[in-house]
Structure 1
Amino acid sequence: MKVIAGVDVGNSTTEVCISKIDNNGKFQFISSGISKTTGIKGTEDNVKGISAALNNALDKTNIRISDIDSIRINEAAPVIGDTAMETITETIITESTMIGHNPSTPGGEGLGLGITININDMNKADMNKDYVVIIPQSLDYEDASEKINLALKNKIKIKAAIVQKDEAVLICNRINTVIPIVDEIKYIEKIPLDKFAAVEVAKSGHTIKVLSNPYGIATIFNLNSEETKRVIPIAKSLIGIRSAIVIKTPEGEVQEKVIPSGKLLIKANNSTEKVDVDSGAEAIMSLVNRIEEIEDISGEAATNVGGMISSVKNTMAELTNENILDIKIKDILAIDTFFPKKVVGGLAEETFMENAVAVAAMVKTKKLPMDRIASKLSALTNIDVQVAGVEAVMATLGAFTTPGTKLPLAILDIGGGSTDAAVLHEDGLIKSIHLAGAGEMVTMIINSELGLSDRSIAEDIKKYPIAKVESLFHIKMENDEIKFFQEPLEARFFGRIVILKNNEMLPIYKDVNLEKIISVRKSAKERVFVQNSLRALKQIAPMNNLRNIPNVVLVGGSALDFEIPEMILSQLSKYKIVSGRGNIRSVEGPRNAVATGLVMSYVGN
């Protein structure tokens, strides 16, 4: 009787299966364990996570680590995701600065035009000019209101106000006229004085109309046709917000800078194909899918995509101690998305959403990184450690322990960084594919498109349903179900969108509505999980025809998702394919397929 441990090192988690095997090859599965993957998958940092997962499995048994005869680990290709931007004008136009600002409570309403002036200098104001007053943090709302009312009494024409503190409404309620007031301007000291400015605040429940229109800005600042064309990014960035400021600044203070997105260079069959990132994800993936076997992918120098690809290769070279020339990118997944871009010239850390292409890259090194992991783990445990098999093949063996399955059997293993697919035929032959792009990419897209700047919140939005707290005693679920509570909820939840994570609520403090979050989440999953699954299955299907695959078992952490299996089933049903979550060894659900397969492969082919 031998004790065998199968270890699956994934991008997010490391899973273990421990089994006893008798001399006749009969299995007795003992336990399983799981731990967070430490370091980037395929690097020696993984050993710490492997040890934790092994201990987690052994703690459930009376087996000691010294009782294990062999540890079998999977072959693993690291996958790194990053974003490559479409061509962007980083700043807006020469001779302007802008505040695309949307505080929760601006004051007043309307469009105000005038010369910027510090409120403490109102005694120097000219009665023949219109003014936009700048109110620094050193002045509270009562003093500011008093100064504005005094100036109005003295026939000084104040058309708008810009405030550093969060006091727009307080000032608005105390002055003798209605003017647009924008507050919470973090870098108010950077606003140039004695320059022409436009301030717009929309009515409650409405969005601005003039400053979000390029012709509106052109009218205000008397721009010619060429300047109007260049002002489009200003208008675009101000669409859908309630307040905004645009200020004319001296020539040369703000310079225009363009960084091209660049071209992807795909090497195969002794030739190199090129595709411009500006052409979008569809054109990129069309080229990728036409190439039978990619040798390497690089990016054009001095461009966004060139920098991204170089960063990925440099990171892997450092982690694996290999020459960067030996680092090859064997597959990419490109997805059209949006990315929050910081506005150069903005005064309150403003951002606007710009088109982008998100790219996940699968990196392959010249040496097998898992060999080094096996050596290090063997030295640590004093146990024979073998690199035993390709992930997708092992996952298929493990998936075959799901009740109700039969050959031929296809699997989809959707992990954190990669999507694996394989088909096991009745004659025992297995065809597999390992593609870039999975859960981490979905998290990245959700984080970008909702402008969260918080990857952990984006991860939770991906995994769990959301709801709107409509009172302290009830919430409205995203499926329109109303849930009531006996005890009042915490006041901080009132009016918020919350993530229903297990038995707790996590508030989302970003100003975004329920429908937007649901739409972005489902769209991200559709673009990455569903489309990449179809791409993988087509490459392993007999004659590349999906209709030749009768059934698909979903395995891996993403199969536990509350939406993904149904999304994939909906798409695969068009090809008359039966699909669903696996239940490995009747007890593990969709998890532990690769680790289980590694143990099963010990007895031979």
Structure 2
Amino acid sequence: MNYIAGVDIGNSTTEVCIAALENGRLHFLGSASKMTTGTKGTQANVAGILAALKEACEKLNMSAGDISLIRINEAAPVIGDTAMETITETIITESSMIGHNPSTPAGAGQAVGRTISLGHLKQGNSYTPYIVMADKSHSYEEVADTLNRYAQARNVTGMILQADEAVLVENRLERKIPIVDEVRYIDKIPEGKLAALEVAMAGSGVRMLSNPYGIATLLELDAQETKMVTPIAKSLIGKRSAVVIKTPHGNVREQILPAGEIYIEAEKDQTVNIDAGADAIMRALSKAGDIRDIHGQEQTNVGNMLARIKKGMSTVSDENQEEIRITDLLAVDTLAPVVISGALAGETCLEKAVGIAAMVKTRQLPMEKIADELRSQLKTKVKVAGVEAVMASLGAMTTPGTRLPLAILDLGGGSTDAAVMTSKGTVRMVHQAGAGELVTMLIQIELGLHSRNTAEQIKRYPLAKVESLFHMRLENGAIEFFPDAIEPKYFGSVVLLTGKDMIRIDEDIPMEKIVAVRREAKRKVFVTNAVRALQAVAPEQDLKNIPNVVLVGGSAEDFEIPEMLMEKFAEYRIVCGRGNIRRTEGPRNAVATGLVLSYLGDSHVDDE
């Protein structure tokens, strides 16, 4: 009896399928999956292949040396890299605004007055409304005592604190006022300037100061001044508290950053500026036809990013950088939090940005080097066999309920691949940039997360809010109760439900916002790319000519991406769903299974 193994080296995982050949029939025995070691298509992959083979063989009580033939997928190294290019920026000179979300503002309402430091309050007058400023050199008892002492003699309408002590001060005041705290650079606030301050009720955001006409009302601005404060109003949307200071020479503006141009070398060469946004970039790509290479304008953000990608591939593939080509891009419009120039509390503003995923290929197929290393270590036959998309199509055919013509979407970490197999057995395929890694990046950027691992977990798992020690509210609105108390550390937190345990999200972000960002990121990348890929391979480039689509790959296991694609393809009356390779593997193992199946057609070659 001969044992045959199919090995699929993916961007994120290496998958193995083992079958026995007996009397000309294949009997599938088992499979395994391990993280890919190194960049796909390089000799560093060997360690991951050996680990996956070892795991699969141990399940079958055999050794890797018992395998008669190993078939690995034929593919050039393809990597997806991502970059975020911010294309607008809010510039504020003379520190004209404060607006952030301190955890402990106090009071609620709006206040207008002249700025004055706590130490100068006694020099003020009784008829001018004041917004008092106190740095950390003043204790909360001193601040509260001073305001109470001048409660009748001075018209104090609001307060700005450097320390995190707004509640402590407000609790001791005889006359309550709105207080904003945690203003890091309070020493940069000029005195004697007209300022408007607002603290929103718990659970809501500021209303007047996030509206340019609200600012105009409070600070008595004319039409030109109102236009100038629009970027400030935009940056304060969703903030719990805010202060806007009117400075006579202050300058607020939004400016376009020179992110650079993208040059597409193709049937019809295209040039597009990244400032034009993702839609313009994708239109240029669609007009270009077959793409030979993509590069960026020198000494610009996008130019440096694309050059860095090529340099990285050159290092791992041992090819000259001139031989490395970028054959596809996926550009996505998004919003990225950017620190505002001239702000006083480390404030950020959501600015327009473009996320880019790039697909990179070498001119050679180095898979034979991997095969040589496996032959050397395992002392067995190794053959580089079959194009990846063709093998995935063969594997997908083992899903119950499928028929030809059949389309597959391979949803991976770095790329989204599509193939259509006709009733005659011919296959059309396409590899496109943009998949799970770009989704992770968008989630991290838009939510302002410090950890990429947290963004990856948010992508993978549903959310809940622990509202008591005995129940939680799921993201779909359902309530789940527990017979035993939840650990107190989770109380009041947003958590990820992994199936085994809960993971607490440390950042203070509402569950509803996390869900919205996660779902939108998946739509921008996977739904957009799936439609783009299938249109490229569909007969006559018409999706209506595709009767069914099988989703395979790691991202097809996602808890919501397949449903998004099913909803989208329902418009074209396409049957779409997760694959169930060999009735047992779910959407995984399609390429590895296809490599084993293809042996029967290639056996006369393999046996030579």
TM-score by length of 1: 0.89
Q: 1:30 maps to which residue?
A: 29
Q: 1:591 maps to which residue?
A: 588
Q: Please give the per-residue CA displacement for 1:504-547, whole angstroms capped at 9, x wherever unaligned.
A: 22233444434333333332222222221122122222222222
Q: 1:243 maps to which residue?
A: 241
1:581–1:166 Cα change, 3 Å: same
How far has the Cα of 1:450 moved from its partner?
A: 3.0
Q: 1:179 maps to which residue?
A: 177
Q: 1:209 maps to which residue?
A: 207
Q: Please give the per-residue CA displacement for 1:334-367, whole angstroms capped at 9, x wherever unaligned.
A: 2222212122223433222122222211111233
Q: 1:527 maps to which residue?
A: 524
Q: 1:267 maps to which residue?
A: 265
Distance (whole Å) between structure 2 residues aligned to residue 76 and residue 133 of structure 1: 65
Q: In 2, are the aligned partners of 1:438 and 1:528 still within 8 Å (CA)?
A: yes
Distance (whole Å) between structure 2 residues aligned to residue 242 and residue 567 of structure 1: 34
Q: 1:328 maps to which residue?
A: 325
1:254–1:363 Cα change, 3 Å: same
Q: 2:274 maps to which residue?
A: 277
1:549–1:509 Cα change, 3 Å: same
- Stretch of structure 1 that moved more, 349-358 or 443-452: 443-452
How far has the Cα of 1:442 moved from its partner?
A: 2.0
Q: In 1, are the aligned partners of 2:162 and 2:186 still within 8 Å (CA)?
A: no
Q: 1:165 maps to which residue?
A: 163
- Stretch of structure 1 that moved more, 357-366 or 522-531: 522-531
Q: 1:67 maps to which residue?
A: 66
Q: 1:493 maps to which residue?
A: 490
1:219–1:392 Cα change, 3 Å: same
Q: Tell me the SS of whatever aligns to 1:480.
A: coil
Q: 2:550 maps to which residue?
A: 553
Which of 567, 573, 576 pairs up with 2:573?
576
Q: Tell me the SS of whatever aligns to 2:169.
A: helix
Instruction: For structure 2, list consecutive stretches of 5 or more residues without a partner in the other structure.
Output: 603-608
Over the aligned positions, Cα root-mean-square deviation in angstroms equals 3.0
Distance (whole Å) between structure 1 residues aligned to residue 139 and residue 495 of structure 2: 34
Q: In 2, are the aligned partners of 1:96 and 1:248 still within 8 Å (CA)?
A: no
1:577–1:139 Cα change, 3 Å: same
How far has the Cα of 1:120 moved from its partner?
A: 5.2
How far has the Cα of 1:396 moved from its partner?
A: 0.9
Distance (whole Å) between structure 2 residues aligned to residue 333 and residue 274 of structure 1: 15
Q: Please give the per-residue CA displacement for 1:44-64, whole angstroms capped at 9, x wherever unaligned.
A: 443333232222212212222
1:374–1:162 Cα change, 3 Å: farther
How far has the Cα of 1:285 moved from its partner?
A: 1.9
Q: Please give the per-residue CA displacement for 1:166-219, whole angstroms capped at 9, x wherever unaligned.
A: 32111111123222211233x336534536354322233443233323355467
Aligned length: 600
Instruction: For structure 1, list consecutive stretches of 5 or more residues without a partner in the other structure.
Output: none
Q: In 1, are the aligned partners of 2:106 and 2:179 still within 8 Å (CA)?
A: yes
Q: Tell me the SS of whatever aligns to 1:207.
A: coil
How far has the Cα of 1:490 moved from its partner?
A: 2.4
Q: Please give the per-residue CA displacement for 1:110-132, whole angstroms capped at 9, x wherever unaligned.
A: 34455555545656667776554
How far has the Cα of 1:156 moved from its partner?
A: 4.5
Q: In 2, are the aligned partners of 1:391 and 1:420 still within 8 Å (CA)?
A: no
Q: In 2, are the aligned partners of 1:399 and 1:584 still within 8 Å (CA)?
A: yes
Q: In 1, are the aligned partners of 2:93 and 2:341 still within 8 Å (CA)?
A: no
How far has the Cα of 1:322 moved from its partner?
A: 3.2
Q: Please give the per-residue CA displacement for 1:230-254, whole angstroms capped at 9, x wherever unaligned.
A: 4332211101222113346797999
How far has the Cα of 1:499 moved from its partner?
A: 1.8
Q: 1:15 maps to which residue?
A: 15
Q: 1:85 maps to which residue?
A: 85
Distance (whole Å) between structure 1 residues aligned to residue 281 and residue 107 of structure 2: 48
1:346–1:93 Cα change, 3 Å: closer
Q: Tell me the SS of whatever aligns to 1:565.
A: helix
1:125–1:306 Cα change, 3 Å: farther
- Stretch of structure 1 that moved more, 446-455 or 390-399: 446-455
The equivalences for 1:226-241 within 5 A come to: 228-241=226-239
Distance (whole Å) between structure 2 residues aligned to residue 212 and residue 178 of structure 1: 23
Q: In 2, are the aligned partners of 1:136 and 1:165 still within 8 Å (CA)?
A: yes
The equivalences for 1:7-406 within 5 A come to: 7-22=7-22, 25-74=24-73, 75-85=75-85, 87-89=87-89, 91-113=90-112, 118-119=117-118, 131-152=130-151, 155-185=153-183, 187-188=184-185, 191-192=188-189, 194=191, 196=193, 197-217=195-215, 228-247=226-245, 258-269=256-267, 271-406=268-403
Q: In 2, are the aligned partners of 1:93 and 1:230 still within 8 Å (CA)?
A: no
Q: 1:456 maps to which residue?
A: 453
Distance (whole Å) between structure 2 residues aligned to residue 539 and residue 430 of structure 1: 12
How far has the Cα of 1:329 moved from its partner?
A: 1.0
Which of 376, 398, 414 pairs up with 1:417?
414
Q: In 2, are the aligned partners of 1:335 and 1:527 still within 8 Å (CA)?
A: yes
Q: In 2, are the aligned partners of 1:100 and 1:243 still within 8 Å (CA)?
A: yes
- Give percent identity, aligned residues only: 52
Q: Tell me the SS of whatever aligns to 2:168.
A: helix
